[in-house]
Amino acid sequence: MLVELGPRVAVIPGGVNIGVLRGGVDGRRIVLVDTGANDTAAKKTLKAVREEVGGEVVAVLTTHAHADHFGGNATVVKRTGARVYAPAVDEAVLRYPLLQPMSLYGGADPLDTLRGRFLLADPSPVDQIVAPGPLVVEGVEIEVIPLFGHSPGQVGYLIDGVFFCADVVLPAAVLDKYRVPYLFSVTDHLAALDRAAATPCRHAVPGHGPILDSLAELVALNRGLIGAVVAHALALTARPTTADAVMTGILIHFAALVADAPAFYLLQPTTFAVLSHLHRTGAVTHEIRDGRSLWTAA
C-alpha cells in the first residue's frame, strides 16, 4: 500500500493521499500528513503503518480544514493518542467542524443536507498551531509552505524534497468532473499557485491524484481555469448584476450544473471569492441599491 519516496517519506495513495513520515531514532515514530475522509481511511492507514512500517502514529500534520482531509483525525487520536498540528484559522474548524457547513451557508444554521460526512467531520483536537517556516516533529525537519486560498490557512509540507502540496492544485480528472473548484480566496490562491510552482522538490504529492515529479503542468492548468472563471464573471457584470446571477452564469458557462445542496453551496463562496478578487483589483464596483447587492464592471 505504501509508495516509498525516500528513506523517511512515503505515501498511502487514495481518495486523499496520506503522507507517512518516519520519525524518531529508529524511524518507527510515525507522523502522518492528513488522515483521509473518515474512520475507514484512518483505520486502513493505521494498519498499513503498523504492518508495513512496524511503527506507531504519534503525530498528524493537517494541511487544511476540509472534512476529506481531517475526517480521520478523531479515529487516529482515539487509537494512538497522536498530537495534531494544524494551521491557524483552519484549526478552529478542526475543533468545531460545524463551522465549515455554517460558512458555506452564509453563517447560518446549515441545512441538514449540508451535515453529511462530505462537509461535516468529527471534531479533532489541535495540540499545536503551525506557521509558515521551519518545523521539527519527531526529529523530522519540515518546511511549512503557505498555500492559502483553497482554505483560509492551507499549508503544504516539504520534507526531504517531497512536497505535500494539499489542494493548491487539483488533477485534471477532478477539474473535468466538477468544472469549477471551491476557493475561499481567489487572490490568495493565485499567489499560492506561484509559491507552489517556485517550491523546489523531487516529488510533489497533491491532496488528490497521482504523485508528480513536477507541478508545472498542473499549476498552469489550474491557473488557466481560475483565470477563465474570473474573466467570465467580469463579462457577466457588464451591467449591474447580483452575485446569484453571476453564479448561475458561471455554472452554465462551465457546465457545472450542480444537482444538490452541497454542490451548490460549495460553489457559492467561490463566486463571492471571484467577485472579491475583481473588486480588490479595481475591475468591478459594488453597491447596495433597492435592496440588492450589485456588482458592475468598472
Q: Give yes or no: residues 79 and 133 share one domain.
A: yes
Q: Give yes or no: residues 243 and 142 share one domain.
A: no
User: Could you tell me the CATH number of the domain that includes residue 19?
Assistant: 3.60.15.10
Q: Give yes or no: residues 134 and 278 share one domain.
A: no
The helix/strand/coil state of 237 is: coil
Q: Give yes or no: residues 12 and 126 share one domain.
A: yes
Q: Give yes or no: residues 243 and 262 share one domain.
A: yes
d(CA 13, CA 235): 40
Beta strands per DSSP E along 147-263: 155-159, 162-166, 203-206
Instruction: Decide which of 226, 256, 289 is a domain's last residue.
Output: 226
Contact partners, residue 98, CB within 8 Å, separation at least 6: 110, 120
Q: Give yes or no: residues 282 and 188 share one domain.
A: no
Instruction: Decide which of 210, 226, 242 is a domain's last residue.
Output: 226
Q: Give yes or no: residues 41 and 96 share one domain.
A: yes
Question: Domain limits at 260?
Answer: 233-297
| Tally of residues, the chain | 298
DSSP 41-70: HHHHHHHHIIIII--EEEEEE-----HHHH
pLDDT in tens, the chain (298 residues): 899 999 999 999 999 999 999 999 999 999 999 999 999 999 999 999 999 999 999 999 999 999 999 999 999 999 999 999 999 999 999 999 999 999 999 999 999 999 999 999 999 999 999 999 999 999 999 999 999 999 999 999 999 999 999 999 999 999 999 999 999 999 999 999 999 999 999 999 999 999 999 999 999 999 999 999 999 999 999 999 999 999 999 999 999 979 999 999 999 999 999 999 999 999 999 999 999 999 999 9
Do strands 133-137 and 128-130 pair parallel, antiparallel, or not at all (unpaired)?
unpaired
Q: Exposed, middle or buried, 66 (CB in 10 Å: 0-12/13-18/19+)?
A: buried
Q: Give yes or no: residues 199 and 271 share one domain.
A: no
Whether the full predicted model's pTM is greater than 0.85, yes or no, is yes
Instruction: Decide which of 170, 197, 226 is a domain's last residue.
Output: 226
The number of folded domains in the chain is 2
Say if CB 76 and CB 45 are below 8 A apart: yes
Q: Give yes or no: residues 284 and 144 share one domain.
A: no
Q: Give yes or no: residues 256 and 173 share one domain.
A: no
User: Could you tell me the CATH number of the domain that includes residue 290?
Assistant: 1.10.10
Q: Give yes or no: residues 165 and 290 share one domain.
A: no
Q: Would you give the end-to-end CA distance of the chain in angstroms?
A: 53
How many helices (H) does the chain have, and how many strands (E)? 10, 14
Q: Give yes or no: residues 54 and 24 share one domain.
A: yes
